[in-house]
Copies of this chain bind each other. A is one copy, B any other.
Amino acid sequence: MTDSAPEALRALEAVIFAAEAPLGLADLARHVGERGDLPELLRQLASSYAPRGIILVERGGRWSFQTAPDLAHHLRPTREAVRKLSRAAVETLSVIAYHEPVTRPEIEEIRGVAASPGTLDVLMEAGWVRPAGRRETPGRPLQYATTPGFLAHFNLTTRRDLPGLADLKAAGLLDREPPRELPLPLGGREE
**Residues A11 and B71 in contact in the complex (CB < 8 Å), given A17-B54, A53-B17:** yes
Q: A65 an interface residue at 8 Å Cβ cutoff?
A: yes
- Tell which of A10, A19, A31 has the most Cβ of chain B within 10 Å: A10
Say whether chain A's binding surface is mostly helix, strand, loop, or mixed: helix
A74 pairs with B19, CB closer than 8 A: no
Interface string of A10-30 (1 = CB under 8 A from B): 111111011100000000001
Output the least CB separation between A18 and chain B (Å): 5
A11 with B54: CB separation less than 8 A: no
A88 on the B face (CB < 8 A)? no
Is B68's CB under 8 angstroms from A10's CB?
A: yes
Closest to A12 in B: B53
A77 contact from B17, B30, B65, B78, Cβ within 8 A? B30
Contact of A67 among B6, B17, B52 (CB under 8 A): B17
Whether A9 sits at the interface, judged by CB under 8 Å, is yes
Q: How far is the CA of A113 from the CA of B15 in the complex (A)?
A: 44
User: Once bound together, how far apart are the Cα atoms of A13 and B49, in whole Å?
Assistant: 11
Q: Are A18 and B77 in contact (CB under 8 A)?
A: no
Point out residues on A near B: beta carbons under 8 Å: 6, 9-15, 17-19, 30-32, 51-54, 65, 67-68, 71, 74-75, 77-78
16 contacts between A and B (CB under 8 A): A10-B52, A11-B53, A11-B74, A12-B53, A13-B52, A13-B54, A14-B53, A14-B54, A14-B75, A15-B53, A17-B67, A18-B67, A18-B75, A18-B78, A19-B78, A30-B77
